[in-house]
Amino acid sequence: MKKIIFAFFVALSLNAANLHFSLHKMETGKGDTLLIIGGIHGNEPGGYFAPMLFLAHYKITEGNVWVVPNLNFDSLIQNQRGIYGDMNRKFAVIKNDDKDKKIVDDIKKLMLEPKVSLILNLHDGHGFYRPQPKNDLFNPKAWGQAFIIDQQALAGAKYGNLGEIASKISKKNNVVLEEDVHEFNVKNTQTKDKDEAMRQSLTYFAIKNKKPALAVETSKNIADLPTKVLYQLKSFEEFMQIMGIKYKRDFELNQKTVAALLQNYGEIEIPPLKIKLPLSDLKPQIKYFPIDAKGAVYKSQNPLVATMQGKNGYEIYSGNIKITTLTTQTYAFDDSLKEVEAFADGKSQQIAIGSYLKAKSNFKINVPDGYRLNIIGFSKKGAENESGIEVAKSSIDKNYSLDKSAKLYRAEIYKGKSFCGMIVVNFE
Ligand SMILES: [Zn+2]
């Protein structure tokens, strides 16, 4: 995960959701545009980790893909279908004071942009859709492992042959199944005549406005997230192929590689406070973490990263995965120091506050007069300021590492009672 950085801001209005979705345009300028919408239901992770990996590991070389990975962001980090009600039943009518109103209005506007030629709405549905009833899990009422269309065709639209497209892609998906029971089928809800609830859905809003749209559903009853993400990504590729959209991906598409990539949560940065943390291996709780009394704006390359103020401090999430809780201590922030001199294994370098210092066995950081360095987990008798002291990896208490592998340590800089930023020492 490297290419893109996204910033999130907490909304000030009490009448809106806290977190708004983000839009990522992967464009070459020419050709058709596929709009992929993930995360309308917060407890359906196949539907949002797939677009997250897509953004991090695919490059579009012809045509265009627009990606919204986190439509119902507040619900996603709480792993709930919809904390303000079912967002996918708000596309026909929505009340003015509905907390989802701005999100629904904004996504409608995006869907109706003339450039958008086909829309996918991603889910993990219940069970395994089968045209014939078999049991509780495999039956016509189930939603999982299916391409859901509202009607067979939408006259006059370029990709309006929804039934044909869905049937073609479900056959292609069935080539990469991890288990035979995961087979994909096409479910036509015949929304206009037969399905009142679906008339309030995102895809039917699109259909009524002459935009081809369908839902891609993996199954809630597949426990393995990488398997679901694999199927979602495979279907994106098939849709792109039908639309003449060309791409490069930087990994081999199979369950194992997808599983490995999903372990990477990226980083979080708190730029105004000069703090940067790698998220993938953090301990579940980190104590006495310095934060500006005024609060802070954060950003991440991972569009599913969000923070929430919990009982015990700042909770950091990637989608429905809680990564860590920072038990915070508040300070005034002092921005006067930009960089310091540091030594990694004896080698000198200038290093920006808020970055990593890579070392193998020891390091030393020199802060100017008037500033104080505090290396968390290290102490030397009589030294309140740890500036200029050579610190061996073996002399730091592992209980204070940021990560489970005991490689990452905090070097915090203070001036008087103010916090000036942090360097994360990384013993590779
Ligand atoms: Zn859903």
Ligand 1 center–CA 114 separation, angstroms: 26
3-class state of residue 260 by DSSP: helix
Span from the CA of 41 to the centroid of ligand 1 (angstroms): 5
Per-residue pLDDT, 313: 84
Of the candidates 404, 267, 415, the residue with the CA atom closest to the CA atom of residue 332: 415
Kindly give the distance from the C-alpha atom of residue 84 to the centroid of ligand 1, in angstroms, as a whole number.
15
Distance CA 159, CA 120 (A): 12
DSSP string, 292-316: ETT---EEESSTTEEEEEETTEEEE
What pLDDT, in 10s, does the model give residues 319-377? 999 999 999 898 999 999 999 999 999 999 999 999 999 999 999 999 999 999 999 99
Q: How many CB atoms lie within 10 A of CB 5?
A: 14
d(CA 43, CA 218): 12
Instruction: Please check whether residue 255 is in contact with residue 227, taking contact to mean a CB–CB distance below 8 angstroms.
Output: yes
Q: Are the C-beta atoms of 409 and 396 separated by less than 8 Å?
A: yes
Q: How far is the CA of 81 from the centre of ligand 1 (A)?
A: 7
Answer yes or no: are the C-beta atoms of 185 and 91 closer than 8 Å: no
The CA 128 to ligand 1 mean position distance, Å, reads 13
Q: Which percentage of the chain shows pLDDT scores above 70?
A: 97
What phi-psi label fits residue 285: left (phi over 0), alpha (psi between -120 and 50 degrees) or beta?
A: beta
* Mean pLDDT of the region 302-317: 90
- Asked if residue 153 lies in contact with residue 272, where contact means CB atoms within 8 angstroms, the answer is no
Distance (Å) from CA 225 to ligand 1 centroid: 15
For residue 253, what pLDDT band results from cuts at 50, 70 and 90? very high
- Distance from the CA of 187 to the center of ligand 1, in angstroms? 14
Ligand 1 center to 125 CA (angstroms): 6
Residues in the chain: 428
Report CA(31)–ligand 1 centroid distance (Å).
30
Distance of CA 353 from the midpoint of ligand 1 (Å): 43
Q: What is the distance in A from the centroid of ligand 1 to the CA of 239?
A: 20
Q: Identify the pLDDT of residue 2.
A: 43
Enumerate residues with CB within 5 Å of ligand 1 (an ion): 41, 44, 123
Gap from CA of 221 to ligand 1 centroid (Å):
13
266 pLDDT higher than 90? yes
Gap from CA of 210 to ligand 1 centroid (Å)? 23
User: In 284-407, at which residue ranges do the beta strands (DSSP E only) sit?
Assistant: 285-292, 298-300, 305-310, 313-318, 321-331, 339-344, 347-352, 356-359, 362-366, 372-375, 391-392
> 153 CA distance to ligand 1 centroid (A)?
22
* For residue 41, pLDDT beyond 60: yes
Residue 6: the pLDDT is 54
Integer Cα distance of 428 and 425 in angstroms: 9
Q: How far is the CA of 252 from the centre of ligand 1 (A)?
A: 28
User: Could you tell me the distance, in angstroms and rounded to a whole number, from the CA of residue 379 to the centre of ligand 1?
Assistant: 52
User: In the chain, where does the domain assigned CATH 3.40.630.10 lie?
Assistant: 6-262
Please give the distance, rounded to the nearest whole angstrom, from the Cα atom of residue 55 to the centre of ligand 1.
21
**Which residues share a beta bridge with 331?**
292
pLDDT band, very low/low/confident/very high, at 12 (cuts 50, 70, 90): very low
Reported in sequence order, the residue ranges of 183-320 that DSSP labels E, i.e. its strands, are 185-188, 213-219, 246-249, 267-270, 275-278, 285-292, 298-300, 305-310, 313-318
In sequence order, the β-bridge partners of residue 275 are 270
CA of 40 to the centre of ligand 1 (A): 7
- Per-residue model confidence (pLDDT) at position 414: 97
Alpha helix ranges (H) inside 243-282:
255-262
329 CA distance to ligand 1 middle (Å): 39
CA of residue 260 to ligand 1 center, whole Å = 25
- List the one residue out of 278, 229, 235, 234 whose CA is nearest residue 256: 229
Instruction: Give the distance (Å) from ligand 1 centre to CA of residue 219.
Output: 10
Q: In this predicted structure, what is the pLDDT of residue 11?
A: 46
Average predicted confidence (pLDDT) for the chain: 94
Global model pTM greater than 0.85: yes
**Cα of 69 from ligand 1 centre, angstroms:** 14
CA–centroid distance, residue 9 to ligand 1 (Å): 26
Pick the CATH number of 6-262 from 3.20.190.10, 3.40.630.10, 3.40.50.2000, 3.90.1150.10: 3.40.630.10
Task: For the chain, state the CA radius of gyration.
Answer: 24
Span from the CA of 364 to the centroid of ligand 1 (angstroms): 52
383 has pLDDT over 90: no
Distance from Cα 285 to the centre of ligand 1, integer Å = 31
